[in-house]
Amino acid sequence: MSLINEYRATEEAIKELQERLKSLSQDDKLKKELEFEGKLRALMGEYSKSLRDIIAILDPEVKSAKAPRGAKPAGSKRARKIKQYKNPNTGEVIETKGGNHKTLKEWKAKWGADVVESWATLLG
């Protein structure tokens, strides 16, 4: 898109958003919600309460149902899949879950990691 086309599209979008803002500002429901929010925030300030305090007062079960931050559910670590490597040169077969296998490292050093990985089949 050329710069002038982008400019015109942005200008049109601004006009549409201004019209939407104008229609929202005349909406009675919005006016009531804004009035409620203002009164609620004033009341919270008067009693030195935060939104969390209000939620805890109105719905005390929310806190107990919510998991604490930073806590991970049990068993969240995914189990590794077993790979089977069959060396076509020697016919030797290795089954491993990770790359820290002595013979596998030797093969990768001798024939290269890409070649050895091409010998792998996923067992599950």
E strand or H helix at 106: helix 102-111
Q: How confident is the model over 5-48, as pLDDT tens digits?
A: 999 999 999 999 999 999 998 999 999 999 999 999 999 999 99
pLDDT score recorded for residue 80: 83
pTM to 2 decimal places: 0.41
Three-state SS at 72: coil
93-96 and 120-122: which strand pairing?
unpaired
| Confidence label for 71 from pLDDT (cuts 50, 70 and 90) | low
Mean pLDDT of 37-61: 91
E strand or H helix at 3: helix 3-25
Distant-in-sequence, close-in-space partners of 108: CB < 8 Å, separation ≥ 6? 116
Chain mean pLDDT for the chain: 86
Give me 114's structure tokens.
């890409």
Q: Could you give the percent of the chain with pLDDT greater than 90?
A: 36
Q: Which residue has the higher pLDDT, 97 or 48?
A: 48
Q: Could you give the percent of the chain with pLDDT greater than 70?
A: 87
Domain boundaries, the chain: 3-65, 82-123
Residue 72 pLDDT greater than 90, yes or no: no
Gap between the Cα atoms of 124 and 121, Å rounded: 9
pLDDT score recorded for residue 101: 86
Give me 40's structure tokens.
């609620």
